[in-house]
Structures are given as structure tokens and as C-alpha cells.
């Protein structure tokens, strides 16, 4: 089913205006100067990880491919550009037939990355590549930030289930992207139905405090929920008195009650008390889910608690304090002339401070130690050393304008599990530290 046909705000017919105006004015000037068709190479990378983070997570690649495919200029979009006087008529004529016909390589979704990693390489004419800058960065910066937070929470959870519950804490479209990125980073399900519809992510949800408050008593509310959803449902037990609610829940649902949810209080203490009470009532298989402004640190603090699942909202969809990855999209090489077959030459920004970049079309590989654990991210120009040939990180995503790198979301999720497991053990420590792998340039 094509969700765009349903008019739902989870797909858009064109991504052409998800960009900054200067991308268009650069194209206009380049067309006039005769340089728009010069072969160019752009790369996405970040100069640093968010403070204290030890690795990054690539997420949003699949959405980038959708955005590139849908970067089209229909009559309405062209009319807007003409009416605002953003570009001239020759540029509008060029845009009317725009299709990205270049190549894109990149780190596959779910892979980890480090400062300087060439996460995405976009090759084609200057004009067709530069137009994609903003939308690519918008997707990768957001989704990778969410996935990195999700990965840290997943590591802290130690195998316990994680539920993404942040839809009400962010923009409605960002909520869908956040649920997708969280799934890549290790979450098991989402409360957001649009994300479930769009990306087939498992969805969960039962009731809020309002449902309990609606009824004349907590017993009436629990009875209504069990009658409707069955004994395997999750009952929210902290609206009034937790101990009394647990007792009532087991009386109504029996020892086969699926789960109880705790959303307030001292979660460590309350979880222990609820577990003891459930066991005493014979509900030994009833699970405990905790929510309430959790982040990776709160999850880690509950490692010794008898908790079976965590529901995370605000901190997840805001990147747990780091809502962007500071990725940039830079021209690193361009043809010496506009002639077909002209050789590429490196170009780079030279500036004071920390905003300079390294020119040249790069490859990346990960070197392993004798035990098969990653020990360095290697970024280089020219030929790849034979010993690293089998460890290259970039894969083909777009060839000649055709998408060749689409994959199921579960493949990205599994890749992240494997990539994180291949890092040194210190990667999953929550204490502040430097990137767990150094980036070496050769």
C-alpha cells in the first residue's frame, strides 16, 4: 500500500523544497558560469561526536534514499519558485527535468561511526549534488542522534525490552522518524501507529491514567480493560495506591495477568515491592513495565530492579541531550574542468579554528585486533591496502540515479547489534569519554 495515496502525513510527494534557498541560488549562478555540470564529490561526516559519546550510529539511510528518489519539481513547486523570484527562468527550466543521476555510497544503516568517517559520498554534477545537501543532513542528523541515544539505552537495558513512547514530545512527523531510528538503535516496539503503519515496527499500548479516572473505581476500570483486551493486558497501577491496585489487578485478571505498569515514584523501590507482591499473589509470570522520564542513566540505575520492560519518551526523541550529530556535507573533490573525463582533484575548506576539512574522495575501513575486536577507523585516499580490502565500510546505495541499496529495516537493526558488539567493551560505558576508536588517516 502506498501511504501517500491515503493522504497521511507520513509521506510527501516531493522533497524538493526540504532545502535551503542558497542551494538554488548556487545552482543558478553555476548554470550561468558554465560550472554546474562539473563532476563533483560531496561527503557527509562529522568532525566530533557529541560530548562524552564514544560512538555514533548511522540511521536514516533508508529515508535518505526515499528523499533522493522523490526530489522532483512539479508545476506547484516550480510555480512557488517563480512567484517568489528565487531563481530565474533558465534555472526553472533546468529544475523541471531534474533527476539525480549520480552515484551514492555510504556506511550502511545501523553501522557505527567516528569523527571523520565518510558516512555518505554523493557523486555527480555539482548542480544535481548540491541540491541534496539540506535534506540529506536533515535526515541523517536527526535520525542518527535518536539512534545513538537508543543504542545507549539498549546497552543499559541489558536485554530487557524497550518501548518507544515519544510521539507526544516531538513534531508529529519527527515522531515517525524517531520511532524508526529508535528501532534501528535497539528498541523493540513503538506506541506510534503511524510508525507502525509506515515501517512495520511492532506497536504496543493499553491505557493511561485518564481511563482509570474515567471510571467510578479502579476496580471498574481494570474490569473494563480486562474484559476488552484480555488477561494478557498491561494494567496501570499507580493512579492511586500501588499496593491496592496490584491486589485488585490480580483479583480481576488472575495470576495470568500479562503485566503491570509503574509510571511514578521511586521506581527502584516500587518495582521491588510490586514484584514481591505479585509473587505472593501467585502472579509470578506477570511482567513489570516502568515508564516516567527515563534515559540511559535511569535505565542503568534500574539494572538490579525486577523490571521486564522500559518505556522511554522525551529523552529518546530529543537524542538524550544531543538532538543533532553536527554532520556536514562538504565538497571534497571536483573535476579539473567541465570536459567529460576530466580528472578529479581534491578541494577543501581552509579556515581558522576547527572547521577545516580534508579534501579528496575517501574510503573507510575498520581495523581489527588479533581477537577480532575493532581497534581503529581507517580513512584514506587512493588505493585501499590489501589487508583492509575486506573490511571496507562504504556500500553502494545509488548507481546512475537508480536506488540499489534498499533493505528491510530489520537488516539495519541487526547490523547495529553486530557492529556494537564488535567494539571494545568500553564503548557501552555511560561515563563520559573519548571516541572508543581513533580515526587514522592514510
Q: What is the pLDDT of residues 107-144, one digit of tens each?
A: 999 999 999 999 999 999 999 999 999 999 999 999 99
Question: Can you read off the three cell numbers belonging to residue 25?
Answer: 541560488
Per-residue pLDDT at 349: 82
H helical segments located in 288-408: 296-301, 314-317
Q: Three cell numbers at 287?
A: 511482567
Rg (CA), the chain: 25
Q: Which residues of the chain have pLDDT under 70?
A: 1-13, 352-354
pLDDT for 8 equals 45
The three-class DSSP label of residue 50 is: coil
Which pLDDT value is given to residue 353?
63
The Cβ-side half-sphere exposure at 211, using a 13 Å CA radius, reads 18
Query: How confident is the model at residue 352, as a pLDDT?
Result: 66
pTM recorded for the entire structure: 0.94
Distance CA(281)–CA(263), nearest Å, equals: 21
Q: Do residues 385 and 87 touch, judged by C-beta distance below 8 A?
A: no
Strand partners, 44: 120, 329
pLDDT value for 9: 47
Would the CA dihedral through 40, 122, 51, 375 be positive or negative?
negative
CB-based contact 345:356 (threshold 8 Å): no
Q: Is the dihedral of CA 126, 128, 129, 134 positive or negative?
A: positive
CA–CA separation, 215 and 213 (whole Å): 5
The reported pLDDT for the residue numbered 354 is 66
Q: What is the predicted pLDDT for the residue at 385?
A: 95
Amino acid at each position: 500500500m502506498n501511504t501517500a495515496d491515503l493522504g497521511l502525513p507520513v509521506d510527501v510527494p516531493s522533497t524538493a523544497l526540504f532545502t535551503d534557498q542558497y542551494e538554488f541560488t548556487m545552482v543558478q549562478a553555476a548554470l550561468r558560469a558554465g560550472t554546474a555540470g562539473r563532476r563533483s564529490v560531496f561527503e557527509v561526516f562529522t568532525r566530533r561526536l557529541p560530548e562524552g559519546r564514544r560512538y555514533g550510529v548511522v540511521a536514516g539511510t533508508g529515508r535518505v534514499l526515499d528523499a533522493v528518489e522523490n526530489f522532483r519539481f512539479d508545476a506547484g513547486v516550480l510555480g512557488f519558485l517563480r512567484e517568489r523570484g528565487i531563481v530565474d527562468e533558465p534555472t526553472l527550466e533546468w529544475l523541471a527535468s531534474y533527476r539525480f543521476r549520480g552515484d551514492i555510497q555510504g556506511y550502511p544503516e545501523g553501522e557505527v561511526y567516528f569523527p571523520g568517517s565518510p558516512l555518505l559520498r554523493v557523486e555527480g554534477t555539482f548542480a544535481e549534488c548540491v541540491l541534496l545537501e539540506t535534506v540529506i543532513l536533515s535526515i541523517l542528523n536527526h535520525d542518527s542522534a535518536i539512534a545513538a541515544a537508543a543504542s545507549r539505552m539498549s546497552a543499559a537495558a541489558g536485554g530487557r525490552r524497550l518501548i518507544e513512547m515519544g510521539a507526544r514530545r516531538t513534531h508529529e512527523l519527527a515522531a515517525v522518524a524517531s520511532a524508526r531510528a529508535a528501532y534501528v538503535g535497539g528498541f523493540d516496539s513503538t506506541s506510534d501507529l503511524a510508525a507502525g503503519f509506515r515501517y512495520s515496527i511492532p506497536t504496543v499500548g493499553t491505557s493511561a491514567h485518564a481511563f482509570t479516572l474515567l471510571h467510578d473505581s479502579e476496580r471498574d476500570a481494570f474490569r473494563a480493560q480486562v474484559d476488552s483486551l484480555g488477561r494478557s493486558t498491561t494494567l496501570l497501577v499507580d493512579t492511586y495506591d500501588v499496593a491496592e491496585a496490584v491486589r485488585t489487578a490480580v483479583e480481576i485478571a488472575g495470576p495470568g495477568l500479562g503485566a503491570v505498569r509503574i509510571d511514578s515514584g521511586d521506581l527502584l523501590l516500587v518495582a521491588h515491592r510490586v514484584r514481591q507482591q505479585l509473587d505472593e499473589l501467585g502472579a509470578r509470570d506477570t511482567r513489570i513495565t516502568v515508564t516516567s522520564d527515563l534515559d540511559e542513566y535511569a535505565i542503568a540505575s534500574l539494572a538490579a530492579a525486577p523490571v521486564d520492560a522500559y518505556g522511554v519518551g522525551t529523552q529518546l526523541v530529543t537524542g538524550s541531550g544531543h538532538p543533532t550529530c553536527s554532520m556536514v556535507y562538504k565538497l571534497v573533490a571536483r573535476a579539473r574542468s567541465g570536459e567529460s573525463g576530466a580528472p578529479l582533484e581534491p578541494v577543501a575548506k581552509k579556515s581558522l579554528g576547527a572547521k577545516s576539512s580534508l579534501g579528496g574522495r575517501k574510503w573507510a575501513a575498520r581495523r581489527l585486533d588479533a581477537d577480532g575486536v575493532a581497534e581503529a577507523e581507517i580513512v584514506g585516499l587512493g588505493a585501499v591496502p590489501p589487508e583492509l580490502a575486506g573490511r571496507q565500510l562504504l556500500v553502494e546505495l545509488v548507481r546512475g540515479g537508480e536506488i540499489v541499496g534498499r533493505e528491510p529495516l530489520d537488516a539495519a537493526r541487526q547490523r547495529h547489534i553486530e557492529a556494537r558488539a564488535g567494539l571494545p567493551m568500553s564503548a557501552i560505558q555511560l561515563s563520559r569519554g573519548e571516541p572508543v576508536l581513533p580515526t587514522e588517516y592514510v
